[in-house]
Amino acid sequence: MPYWVRSMAGPVNAILGRFTFTRYLLASICALSADFALFMALTHLGLPPVIAAVGGYSGGLVLHWLISVHFVFGLQEPPSHAQRVAFIVSALIGMAITTTLVGGLSSLGLPPAAAKLMAVPASFLAVYAIRKYGIFRA
């Protein structure tokens, strides 16, 4: 392999990695929109904030899976059973982070919607790392 090709590998991989992050961010925005809408609907119906957070997160998870498999990570083959299970496990980790923060911040008097918004960055970064570097690693 010519030297110039090898020397470009680092920058090219960095750029492709940024696009993966950008696609993941867009997928997460779509999923979060569905999650938050469902969360707000469930709290409006009178469910406790923690239960509403689980319901919203679950709805967003389904949408995120579909977008991740087809758009973000662009799998060449259908996802394996292990990837499906690992995706759910990563979601459970994200849900645990989210529900813990929503429950804790709500108990401190923060409005549920504000608590949910504060939980988003922590959950997002943890789950992205698990999925990019574990589940869908190239």
In this predicted model, what pLDDT tens digit does every residue of 5-26 receive, in sequence order? Answer: 444 445 545 555 567 888 888 9
User: Which two three-digit tokens encode residue 118?
Assistant: 């504060």
Pairwise CA distance, residues 56 & 60, whole Å:
6
The single residue listed with the structure tokens 């679950």 is 58
**Of 59, 46, 53, which Cα lies nearest the Cα of 103?**
53
Higher per-residue confidence, 14 vs 50: 50
Q: What's the pLDDT score for residue 18?
A: 62
Pairwise CA distance, residues 18 & 103, whole Å:
33
Q: Is the pLDDT of residue 102 over 50?
A: yes
Please state, for a pLDDT cut of 90, what percent of the chain lies above it: 42
Q: Is the pLDDT of residue 38 over 90?
A: yes
What letter does residue 77 receive in the DSSP assignment?
A: S
The CA-based angle 32-13-18, given to 5 degrees, is 25
Pairwise CA distance, residues 25 & 19, whole Å:
10
What's the whole-number mean pLDDT along residues 106-134? 90
Average pLDDT, the chain: 84
Q: What's the pLDDT score for residue 8?
A: 46
